[in-house]
Amino acid sequence: MAAAAHSAILPRRGGIAGALSDAFWRHPGFLLFLLLTPPVLWLGIIYLGSLFALLAQSFFSIDEFSGLVQYEFTLKTYGELFKAQNLDIILRTVMMAAIVTLAAAAVAFPIAYFAARYARGKWKAFFYLAVMLPLWSSYLVKVYAWKLILAKEGILNWLLAKMHLTWLLEAWLSLPIVGGNSLSFSYTGTFLVFLYVWLPFMILPLQAALERVPVNLVEASSDLGAAPAQTFRNVIFPLALPGLVAGSIFTFSLTLGDYIIPQIVGTSRRFIGQAVYIHQGTAGNIPLAAAFTVVPIVVMGFYLWGAKRLGAFNAM
Amino acid sequence: MRADRNQRAPLALKIAATAGLLFLHLPILLIFVYAFTTEDKSYAWPPPGFTTKWFAVTWNRPDVWQALTLSVKVASISTAVALVLGTLCAAAVSQTKFFGRETISLLVILPIALPGIITGIALRSAFSIAEIPFSTWTIVLGHATFCVVVVYNNAVARFRRTSASLVEASMDLGADGFQTFRYVILPNIGTALLAGGMLAFALSFDEVIVTTFTAGQQQTLPIWMLEELVRPRQRPVTNVVAMVVVLVTFLPILAAFYLTRDGDQIAGSGK
């Protein structure tokens, strides 16, 4: 019996490679361990390690006289976030992120809808690349392009002058809050650049969600007598909502954390990213900078929690 | 959702979609025009004249070449690291079910889901706590961390489509684990890895937010551009560099698209 059982199982392979290969087969857990160790160590130590080190520092405070960090547990630094000037920064950033997200949804919807419903064959590929290329082209080059466009001597002012619409721009710039000296030094400019840079992140998930809307539901709706607007409101929009929410995660999160765009195009009033940058750099106030980074993490935490309830993760 | 073949899009939709696409593309095309302008003191439009002399000027600039070299070096090393780590992770997650699998996917996605400034400042404060001096390697540490997710996404999508019976057949026919990897798994996931690697390269080549925190005094190409954006000194050279950067990033994206377009998931859809 023993001999028969022995012959039914292949002999073990010789050599180190063979022995290892056998070990992997016999103990799948061993292989899994080997596969997972390098990435988990890298991400765990380098990424999570630094992240926790940073968060820990937000519980320290800075001595107002010496400017040195005091390594004692305190919530004082978090208290500072609620000072009027810092609260202003947080509200301004969250408002901007919300408005950029809404505008991105409005601009992205027709593109995604057309690509999902009417584009086919060559046009499908064209639409896909037409969104992918701006998505992947250099972030700084895109910001730079808008610096060229919004400059006083730039193409936008030239175009408005040609169309005799300069008065319109001036009227807009004289408005409170959205206005300013010129487009490149106003919230309107900042908003346009944010919208431009993050727009592709909204189109892709939205298109993916729209592709999955069964066309016979749309047909059934019109067969039952719904006008196109009703079909859109009651059938297409609710089914596309998870994609919309998935896209908004990107536009919202990216706007919350950005510090370069408001620095290059915008007013001197700060956004969260700039506050973090200045506190950790020139001001040397790492605890406050760390506390500021907690704000986007918390805001995004709530946002993701809400998005998950709307089923946005299946649309990504 | 697919309309019938004879169904036409409403005119308003066509106009809105076209306007949206123009909004996405005209600013980038503008860069190409500005690279040839004769004006070097302002961003004047329309350009007073056209010239190609700024290409020669840029070619002879050592600071641009140094920044470019550093960027290519960092992107290559980060891509290599990301390829190894991303593939290992994707293999583990897609081939087996184990406790904490969701956590692993979350861990991989986190560096790109959280705003870049958080990754950047976290790494910087970690470097200062551990007293690590800034070098090429500190930049690589940051870049590789967020490049892993791109390779991982592509590899996971391909592993899911590769049927497990192929691997079993190879084992039944007497191949050992390494032979199976070399002759069965690798040819199957090869193009996905290539696409993922190209996207990782493009991502690293272009990254600026994390890099400002991990570079110290070194200049990668994006950091060089950022300085020019904040304090414009040589507008014509910046215009040319911007145009070249656009062209250089387009090639890997197009290549990645053609490598993975037959699949159910196309590379790059999750930057």
A20 to chain B, any CB pair closer than 8 A? The answer is yes
B269 Cα to chain A: minimum distance (Å): 7
A281 to chain B, any CB pair closer than 8 A? The answer is no
Neighbours of B271 (CB within 10 A): 17
| Residue of chain B whose Cα is closest to the Cα of A300 | B114
The pLDDT-based confidence of A83 (bands split at 50, 70, 90) is confident
Mean pLDDT of chain B: 84
A312 Cα to chain B: minimum distance (Å): 14
pLDDT given at position B48? 81
The pLDDT-based confidence of B112 (bands split at 50, 70, 90) is confident
Domain membership of residue B158 as a residue range: 62-260
B3, B21, B44 ranked by CB distance to A153: nearest: B44
A78 to chain B, any CB pair closer than 8 A? The answer is no
**Choice among A218-222, A226-230, B267-271 with the minimum mean pLDDT:** B267-271
pLDDT digits (tens, 9 = 90+) for A131-168: 888 888 888 999 999 988 998 888 888 888 888 888 88
The pLDDT-based confidence of B86 (bands split at 50, 70, 90) is very high
CATH number of residue B247's parent domain: 1.10.3720.10
pLDDT given at position A316? 53
CB contact under 8 A, B230 and A264: yes
Q: Which two tokens stand for residue B198?
A: 């190209």
DSSP secondary structure string, B98-132? -TTHHHHHHHHHHHHHS-HHHHHHHHHHHHHHHTP
- Is B12 contained in some domain? no
For residues A73 and A310, the model is more confident at: A73
Across the range A61-70, mean pLDDT stands at 75
Across the range B34-46, mean pLDDT stands at 81
Across the range B151-174, mean pLDDT stands at 84
Query: Best-predicted range by mean pLDDT among A103-107, B13-17, B149-153, B171-175?
Result: A103-107
* Percent of chain B predicted with pLDDT > 90: 19
- Is B79 contained in some domain? yes
CB contact under 8 A, B253 and A256: no
CB contact under 8 A, A141 and B119: no
A43, A116, A211 ranked by CB distance to B107: nearest: A43
CB contact under 8 A, B119 and A289: no
pLDDT given at position B266? 53
CB contact under 8 A, A158 and B148: no
For residues B140 and A28, the model is more confident at: B140
CB contact under 8 A, A114 and B17: yes
| Structural domain total, chain B | 1
| Cis before B48 (ω within 30) | no
pLDDT given at position A1? 45
CB contact under 8 A, A210 and B89: no
- Is B35 contained in some domain? no
What lies within 8 Å, CB to CB, of A198 at 6+ separation is A100, A104, A250, A251, A254, A255
pLDDT at A110 over 70: yes
How many inter-chain contacts (A to B, CB under 8 Å) are there?
Answer: 274
CB contact under 8 A, B28 and A43: no
Across the range A169-173, mean pLDDT stands at 85
- Is B22 contained in some domain? no
B25, B116, B230 ranked by CB distance to A263: nearest: B230
- Is B256 contained in some domain? yes
A149, A208, A300 ranked by CB distance to B27: nearest: A149
pLDDT at A315 over 90: no
DSSP secondary structure string, chain A? -HHHHHHHSPPPPPHHHHHHHHHHHH-HHHHHHHHHHHHHHIIIIIIIHHHHHHHHHTTSEE-TTT-PEE-S--SHHHHHHTSHHHHHHHHHHHHHHHHHHHHHHHHHHHHHHHHHHT--THHHHHHHHHHHHHHHS-HHHHHHHHHHHHSTTSHHHHHHHHTT-HHHHHHHHTSTTT-BSSGGGBHHHHHHHHHHHHHHHHHHHHHHHHHTS-HHHHHHHHHTT--HHHHIIIIIHHHHHHHHHHHHHHHHHHHHH--SHHHHSS-SS--HHHHHHHHHTTS--HHHHHHHHHHHHHHHHHHHHHHHHTTGGGG-
pLDDT given at position A168? 85
The pLDDT-based confidence of A2 (bands split at 50, 70, 90) is very low
For residues B158 and A66, the model is more confident at: B158
Mutate to test the interface with A, among B118, B129, B199 (most CBs of A within 10 A): B118
CB contact under 8 A, B229 and A24: no
**Choice among A120-124, B5-9, B44-48, B68-72 with the minimum mean pLDDT:** B5-9
pLDDT given at position B255? 83
For residues A92 and B111, the model is more confident at: A92
A158 to chain B, any CB pair closer than 8 A? The answer is yes
Mean pLDDT of chain A: 84
A19 to chain B, any CB pair closer than 8 A? The answer is no
- Is B136 contained in some domain? yes
B222 Cα to chain A: minimum distance (Å): 7
- Is B163 contained in some domain? yes
For residues B98 and A240, the model is more confident at: A240
- In the block, which residue shows the tokens 């690798």? B186
B243 closest CA partner among A181, A138, A150: A138
Q: Which two tokens stand for residue B145?
A: 């961390």
pLDDT digits (tens, 9 = 90+) for A286-303: 888 888 888 888 888 888
pLDDT digits (tens, 9 = 90+) for A234-282: 888 888 888 888 888 888 888 988 889 998 888 888 898 888 888 887 7
- Is B125 contained in some domain? yes
pLDDT digits (tens, 9 = 90+) for B55-67: 888 888 888 899 9
Residue B256 parent element (H or E)? helix B235-260
What domains appear along chain A, each with residue ranges and CATH number? 12-70 (no CATH), 78-315 (1.10.3720.10)
pLDDT given at position B5? 57
The pLDDT-based confidence of B229 (bands split at 50, 70, 90) is confident
| Residue of chain A whose Cα is closest to the Cα of B270 | A316
For residues B83 and B167, the model is more confident at: B83
Chain B residues with CB-CB distance to A128 below 8 A: 257, 266
